[in-house]
């Protein structure tokens, strides 16, 4: 609570220090401006489409050799073939855990006969088809690893390493859009004795295939989306699968090799001690413990408070209030992927001059009201970028302010049903297809399962 109050006080000081020349609506459009986008994953591609549609001059800087972000499978772990950190968390046999209808770009649906829960490989083909359809590659610089973003003399200076030649370059940007993804920096716990454990320990970010663990004794820690998905992949291939978590859900009938365990107490040289006092020998540990925001390239001149848990203060969880020519896409928790497309249209519309922001003073007042609401609800500052149950209202606010395409409310209904159904029927919930009837209604039916999951009617 004291930290929350200190943040509020810091923002009040910021309010007093804002540029008094900004009065009324804040227009950002500049003639002959150059926009720099960091990242060519889902969010970066989404905003690229709108920037191109609106006639904005832009360049996308992508660290790897490829577009697609976390949706592209890369067998490398740690560093890729260019010595660049591997940013994707994709693994073999993955299927989406939400219906594709909640993940599609606006106005660019999957073919109607595609399964509602496509494979990761199929979703990557969808992204590739999106890039081809909107001819985005001419604006994307691959092998361009951004290392610094600074505010200098009323413009942004972005420095990146050209990884194939190991040359550093600096470019000038009038606008910066940060879209480097939500699943970049793994959150790793540290238990007593972990340093003396003789087995392997990885984060699910580095998991690539179940075959690696055939016949081995494996411990999964965590039961978020990755933890549950890996339990489904590993329970019938490992010699023993211990799963440490405290999720309350309808546990399916896993194989006889699956063992639910409480929280970890400590490690030994060849095993793990759990909170209930039991000890199990294990060969491998996979932490499915989530991710943090990661923006190491942001200089203090950006005027933001940045951590792995939150970024502040941001108007609409998008616009840097101190320097409104900087925007973020994806700094928002507990939402569907389609939200990033709405944020992308918002940002591109802003840069194209299609609407005006409130004044800096008004934006900060709106943000402070949001923080006071968190305090009233006994929440913490780490919840400042969380939308959750307010997602439909959030999407409505983006439309009201910027005139962006209104995301149908039915997608919120699908999200909420899917989240509940996934915990009720973990091993079978993907054996259903969805169809949106109108903005408020959808239908769902069993598709027969089996090979339906492998269908991908996308031609490149």
Distance in angstroms (rounded) separating the CA atoms of residues 62 and 41: 8
CB within 8 A of 325, min separation 6: which ones? 28, 156, 174, 175, 176
Query: Of 382, 370, 287, 387, which is closest to residue 330 (Cα–Cα)?
Result: 387
In degrees and rounded to multiples of 5, residue 427 shows phi and psi of -85, -10
* Mean pLDDT across 298-313: 96
CB within 8 A of 207, min separation 6: which ones? 91, 226, 230, 286
**Is pLDDT of 219 > 80?**
yes
In the structure encoding, which two tokens stand for residue 440, read together?
A: 């408020």
In degrees and rounded to multiples of 5, residue 349 shows phi and psi of -65, -40
Mean pLDDT of the residues in the chain: 94
CB within 8 A of 249, min separation 6: which ones? 223, 423, 424, 426
Distance in angstroms (rounded) separating the CA atoms of residues 171 and 377: 44
| Alpha-carbon dihedral angle through residues 208, 210, 213, 215, given to the nearest 10 degrees | -170
**Is pLDDT of 16 > 50?**
no
CB within 8 A of 159, min separation 6: which ones? 146, 147, 148, 149, 150, 168, 169, 170
Distance in angstroms (rounded) separating the CA atoms of residues 385 and 441: 29
**Integer angstrom CA distances of residue 383 from 308, 319, 331, 372:** 12, 17, 11, 12
* Mean pLDDT across 401-411: 97
**Is pLDDT of 387 > 80?**
yes
Distance in angstroms (rounded) separating the CA atoms of residues 253 and 73: 30
pLDDT at residue number 377: 86
Taking only the tens place, the pLDDT of each residue in 416-450 is 999 999 999 999 999 999 999 999 999 999 999 99
Distance in angstroms (rounded) separating the CA atoms of residues 46 and 106: 9
In degrees and rounded to multiples of 5, residue 157 shows phi and psi of -115, 120
Distance in angstroms (rounded) separating the CA atoms of residues 8 and 184: 29
Phi-psi category of residue 94: left, alpha or beta, with phi > 0 → left and psi -120 to 50 → alpha: beta
**Is pLDDT of 233 > 80?**
yes
Burial of 95 (0-12, 13-18, 19+ CB in 10 A): middle
- Residues 109 and 124 sit within 8 Å (Cβ to Cβ): no
* Mean pLDDT across 198-213: 98
pLDDT band for position 11 (cuts 50, 70, 90): low
In the structure encoding, which two tokens stand for residue 258, read together?
A: 């699956």
Taking only the tens place, the pLDDT of each residue in 123-160 is 999 999 999 999 999 999 999 999 999 999 999 999 99
Q: Which domains does the chain have, with CATH numbers?
A: 2-8+30-185+291-410 (3.50.50.60), 188-287 (3.50.50.60)
pLDDT at residue number 182: 85
* Mean pLDDT across 197-202: 98
* Mean pLDDT across 283-288: 98
Q: pTM here?
A: 0.94
Burial 48-75 (b: 16+ CB within 10 A, else e): bbbbbebebebbbbbbbebbbbbbbbbe
Taking only the tens place, the pLDDT of each residue in 23-48 is 446 677 677 899 999 999 999 999 99
**Is pLDDT of 18 > 70?**
no
% the chain with pLDDT above 70: 94
Angle separating helix axes 410-424 and 391-402, nearest 10 degrees: 160
- Residues 103 and 336 sit within 8 Å (Cβ to Cβ): yes
Q: Which residues pair with 155 in a beta bridge?
A: 152
Q: How long, in residues, is the chain?
A: 460
In the structure encoding, which two tokens stand for residue 190, read together?
A: 């540290």
């Amino acid at each position: 609570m004291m930290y929350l109050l200190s943040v509020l006080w810091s923002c009040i000081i910021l309010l007093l220090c804002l540029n008094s020349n900004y009065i009324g609506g804040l227009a950002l459009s500049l003639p002959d401006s150059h926009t720099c986008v960091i990242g060519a994953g889902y969010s970066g591609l989404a905003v690229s489409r709108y920037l191109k549609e609106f006639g904005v001059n832009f360049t996308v800087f992508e660290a790897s050799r490829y577009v697609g972000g976390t949706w592209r499978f890369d067998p490398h772990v740690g560093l890729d073939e260019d010595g660049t950190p591997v940013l994707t968390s994709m693994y073999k046999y993955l299927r989406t855990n939400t219906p594709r209808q909640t993940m599609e770009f606006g106005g660019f649906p999957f073919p109607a006969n595609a399964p509602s829960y496509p494979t990761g490989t199929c979703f990557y083909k969808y992204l590739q088809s999106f890039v081809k359809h909107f001819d985005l590659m001419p604006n994307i610089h691959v092998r361009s690893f951004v290392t610094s973003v600074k505010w200098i003399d009323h413009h942004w200076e972005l420095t990146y390493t050209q990884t194939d030649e190991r040359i550093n370059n600096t470019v000038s940007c009038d606008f910066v859009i940060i879209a480097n993804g939500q699943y970049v920096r793994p959150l790793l716990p540290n238990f007593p004795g972990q340093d003396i454990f003789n087995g392997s320990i990885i984060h699910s970010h580095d998991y690539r295939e179940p075959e690696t663990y055939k016949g081995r004794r494996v411990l999964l820690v965590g039961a978020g989306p990755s933890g549950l998905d890996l339990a489904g992949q590993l329970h019938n291939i490992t010699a023993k699968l211990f799963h440490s978590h405290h999720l309350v859900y309808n546990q399916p009938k896993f194989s006889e090799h699956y063992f639910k365990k409480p929280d970890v107490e400590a490690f030994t040289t060849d095993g793990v001690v759990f909170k209930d006092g039991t000890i199990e020998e294990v060969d491998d540990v996979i932490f499915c413990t989530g991710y943090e925001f990661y923006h190491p390239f942001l200089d203090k001149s950006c005027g933001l408070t940045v951590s792995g848990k939150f970024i502040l203060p941001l108007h609409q969880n998008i616009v840097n209030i101190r320097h409104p020519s900087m925007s973020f896409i994806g700094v928002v928790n507990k939402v569907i992927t389609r939200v990033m497309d709405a944020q992308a249209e918002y940002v591109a519309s802003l840069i194209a001059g299609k609407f005006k922001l409130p004044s800096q003073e008004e934006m900060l007042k709106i943000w402070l009201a949001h923080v006071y609401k968190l305090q009233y609800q006994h929440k913490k500052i780490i919840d400042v970028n969380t939308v959750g149950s307010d997602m439909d209202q959030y999407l409505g606010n983006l439309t009201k302010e910027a005139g962006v395409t209104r995301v149908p409310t039915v997608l919120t209904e699908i999200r909420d049903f899917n989240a509940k159904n996934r915990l009720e029927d973990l091993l079978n919930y993907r054996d259903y297809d969805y169809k949106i009837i109108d903005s408020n209604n959808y239908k769902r039916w069993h598709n027969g399962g089996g090979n339906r999951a492998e269908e991908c009617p996308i031609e490149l």
